[in-house]
Amino acid sequence: MVRKLLLTAVGIGFVGLWGGFASEKAPMGEKIEHPQWSYSGKTGPKYWGYLSPEYIMCAIGKNQSPIDLNEKYMVKACTRPLQINYVADAVKVLNNGHTIKVITLGKSYVVIDGRKFYLRQFHFHAPSEHTVNGEYYPFEAHFVHTDDEGNIAVIGVLFKLGKTNKELQKIWDYMPTKVGQENLLLTKVNPYLLLPKKKDYYRYNGSLTTPPCSEGVRWIIFKEPVEISAEQLNLFKEVMGFPNNRPIQPINARKILK
């Protein structure tokens, strides 16, 4: 029973982390310093679904993320231009042991399906989680939004190697190198400047890519990649110390809109 309660507490803690509304603290007020899941070994992606009852979707879900954005599964659709209203409301950057995450004030939003989805946080993965026709990119950013009813929408941006990314550098200058550390962003960071110029996108129905792997997530991935320098990529990899991407999940009955 105690064990079950503990697992529940951890589960709720991570739901909070993901939604970005809660602080990085477990309900007992303790810092989560030893994540209960990881990207390899006995608490790695293969076992996520069995680490806690809250994580069951990681094992049994049929609409999981990430996926390979493969031409084979794409259908042409009239994907409407996204109405993106991002402002410079990023306030702090933290290292939670799984990623580097930027917390926003929730003033930025995007309109999807006629609903306003507010940007709660954005974070990074190396290599990319999504692949395009089987190819990985070196880096991917996820902009996590929720609407007033708690529905989740994530915008993914793929990065290729190239020039120094100026907006990303503003965050990198404050990157916390130790797990559990967080730094205030003492400079204006506008997440809009991390998005590609062309806003054509793929869209599909998926999940969170970390426990609890909740489904019903509206995924938007921009087709055009943006650039990151080798130096910026290496700093992220060094600080993380391991690849923080969940393996590609089966597409099952889904289609990708393009």
Active site positions, annotated:
98
Tokens of 194: 């991390």
CB of 136 to Zn ion, least distance (A): 15
CB of 128 to Zn ion, least distance (A): 10
Contact 40, 98 (CB under 8 A): no
In the complex with Zn ion, the residue whose CB is nearer, 142 or 203, is: 142
Q: CB under 5 A: which stretch of 62-70, 138-146, 191-199, 248-256 binds Zn ion?
A: 138-146
Q: Could you tell me which of 134, 97, 71 has the C-alpha nearest to residue 17?
A: 97
CB of 129 to Zn ion, least distance (A): 6
One-character DSSP codes across the chain? -HHHHHHHHHHHHHHHHHHSSS-SB-TTS-B--S-S--SSGGGSGGGHHHH-GGGTHHHH-SS-S--EE-GGGEE---PPPPEEE--S-EEEEEE-SS-EEEEE-S--EEEETTEEEEEEEEEEESS-SSEETTEEPSEEEEEEEE-TT--EEEEEEEEEE-S--HHHHHHHTT---STT-EEE--S---GGGGS-SS--EEEEEEE-SSTT--EEEEEEEESS-EEE-HHHHHHHHHHH-S---PPP---TT--EE-
The count of chain residues that interact with Zn ion, using the rule CB under 5 A, is: 1
In the complex with Zn ion, the residue whose CB is nearer, 163 or 218, is: 218
Q: CB under 5 A: which stretch of 10-18, 42-50, 137-145, 239-247 binds Zn ion?
A: 137-145
Q: CB under 5 A: which stretch of 9-17, 27-35, 101-109, 142-150 binds Zn ion?
A: 142-150
User: Which residue's CB comes closest to Zn ion?
Assistant: 142
In the complex with Zn ion, the residue whose CB is nearer, 21 or 114, is: 21
CB of 222 to Zn ion, least distance (A): 15
Q: CB under 5 A: which stretch of 140-148, 170-178, 194-202, 229-237 binds Zn ion?
A: 140-148
In the complex with Zn ion, the residue whose CB is nearer, 6 or 35, is: 35
CB of 237 to Zn ion, least distance (A): 16
Candidate list 120, 130, 142, 145; residue touching Zn ion; CB under 5 A: 142
In the complex with Zn ion, the residue whose CB is nearer, 78 or 119, is: 119
Binding site for Zn ion (CB under 5 A): 142
